[in-house]
Amino acid sequence: MALLKILRYPDPRLHKIAKPVTEFGTERLRKLVADMADTMYDAPGVGLAATQVDVHERVIVIDVSETHDQLIVFINPEITWASEDKQVYDEGCLSVPGIYDGVERPAKVKVRAYDVEGKEFTVDADGLLAVCIQHEMDHLMGKVFVEYLSPLKRNRIKAKLQKEERGMEREAARAGGRR
Q: Which residues are catalytic?
A: 136
The reply on whether position 44 binds ligand K1U by CB under 6 A is yes
Contacting residue, 35, 63, 91, 101, with ligand K1U by CB under 6 A: 91
Residue type, 66: E
* Identity of the residue, 24 or 64, whose beta carbon is nearer to ligand K1U in the bound complex: 64
Q: Distance between CA atoms of 99 and 83, rounded to whole angstroms? A: 27
Task: Classify residue 54 by burial, with Cβ atoms within 10 Å: 0-12, 13-18, 19+.
Answer: middle
Partner whose binding site includes residue 132, from Zn ion, ligand K1U, none (CB under 5 to 8 Å by kind): ligand K1U
Strands 109-114 and 72-82: antiparallel
Question: Between 2 and 41, how does the x/- string for binding to ligand K1U read (CB under 6 A)?
Answer: ----------------------------------------
Question: Between 74 and 93, how does the x/- string for binding to Zn ion read (CB under 5 A)?
Answer: -------------------x
* Identity of the residue, 72 or 93, whose beta carbon is nearer to Zn ion in the bound complex: 93
Q: Distance between CA atoms of 144 and 139, rounded to whole angstroms? A: 6
Backbone angles phi, psi at 73, to 5 degrees: -105, 120
The reply on whether position 47 binds ligand K1U by CB under 6 A is yes
Q: Which of 64, 50, 73, 82 is nearest to 120 (CA)?
A: 73
Spacing of C-alpha 146 from chain mean position: 13
Q: How far is the CB of 72 from ligand K1U (least distance, A)?
A: 13
Partner whose binding site includes residue 9, from Zn ion, ligand K1U, none (CB under 5 to 8 Å by kind): none
The reply on whether position 106 binds ligand K1U by CB under 6 A is no
